[in-house]
Structure 1
């Protein structure tokens, strides 16, 4: 949190007419997140923008810290990702209930549904709605864990290739360049 706030404060351009590279960088990220929020939420996007912008930087910094040697990416912890997704899910559900009142529960009944099928379909829709919280946490956890495991396997393979012989050492420079490209992306 302090890193992100410090970087935003450092990139502030109040006294300069020409923006710095950091200012352009953070403004482009802000505009990108703003356009995504506008397209998904619509006209009331200003209310949720600080939360989504903060979550974006939290996950970004957490994943980037994991690329530092001998460091641990906290998003490879299932407790953190599931806890974060469940807390956000509960918060947005309570917000939806407070805004839409009883009409919120109408989203669980499909339009044009026969009356005898309503109880069954409400249970199915409720299970589908609640499974989103778990699935988002599991997806973030598994993607980061799989990515880090893949990088560990590739780095171990490249190390063995570099240490095998002189000819293989020079041939290994090509996959090593690709490996560095994967890490930097």
Structure 2
């Protein structure tokens, strides 16, 4: 059901990452994707499960005495998802100046690094989509 969304997301992230490989280029993926996905998954979970969605923060079979301890931990874990999506996208984009310096190195090394950056763009789009699919599954199936 969410395959078209995941498919579109993959190509959006991929094209945004590839456009970020242009010297002095900026990629929009780091700015909007992670928070948009996080908010969308949360809204989907709330829409499907209403108040029961909050049971996601209490693992099944948890003794009542541990609930006050586990709820903040699970909430932090849930909020860390947006951070993890953002880090996946931002990790590649600190190499803009390095790429300019590498152009002085022989042509074969430059081509190899460009190939590596393109591979990283594909891998990041793939990992972002896998994480999004996992978060969608968690929002839909709770436990």
Same fold (TM over 0.5): yes
Q: Deviation above 6 Å: which 4+ runs of structure 1?
A: none
The reply to whether residue 177 of structure 1 matches residue 108 of structure 2 is yes
Larger RCO (alpha carbons 8 Å, 6+ apart):
2
- Deviation digits for residues 86-117 of structure 1 (CA, Å, limit 9, x no counterpart): 12211111111111223322221123322111
CA distance in 1, matches of 2:18, 2:32: 20
CA shift in 2, pair 1:149/1:113, >3 Å? farther
Count of aligned pairs between the two proteins:
116
Q: Tell me the equivalent position of 1:145.
A: 93
Normalised by the size of structure 2, how large is the TM-score? 0.67
Unaligned segments of structure 2, at least 5 residues: 119-143
Normalised by the size of structure 1, how large is the TM-score? 0.54
CA distance in 2, matches of 1:74, 1:94: 26
Q: Tell me the equivalent position of 1:109.
A: 58
Shift of 1:149: 4.4
Q: How does 1:14-163 map to 2 (within 5 A)?
A: 46=1, 48-68=2-22, 70-75=23-28, 81-141=30-90, 143-156=91-104, 158=105
Unaligned segments of structure 1, at least 5 residues: 1-45, 159-171
Computed over aligned residues only, the root mean square deviation of the Cα atoms, in angstroms, reads 2.2
- Deviation digits for residues 114-144 of structure 1 (CA, Å, limit 9, x no counterpart): 2111012111101110121122113311x22
Q: Secondary structure at the match of 2:11?
A: helix
Structure number with larger C-alpha Rg: 1
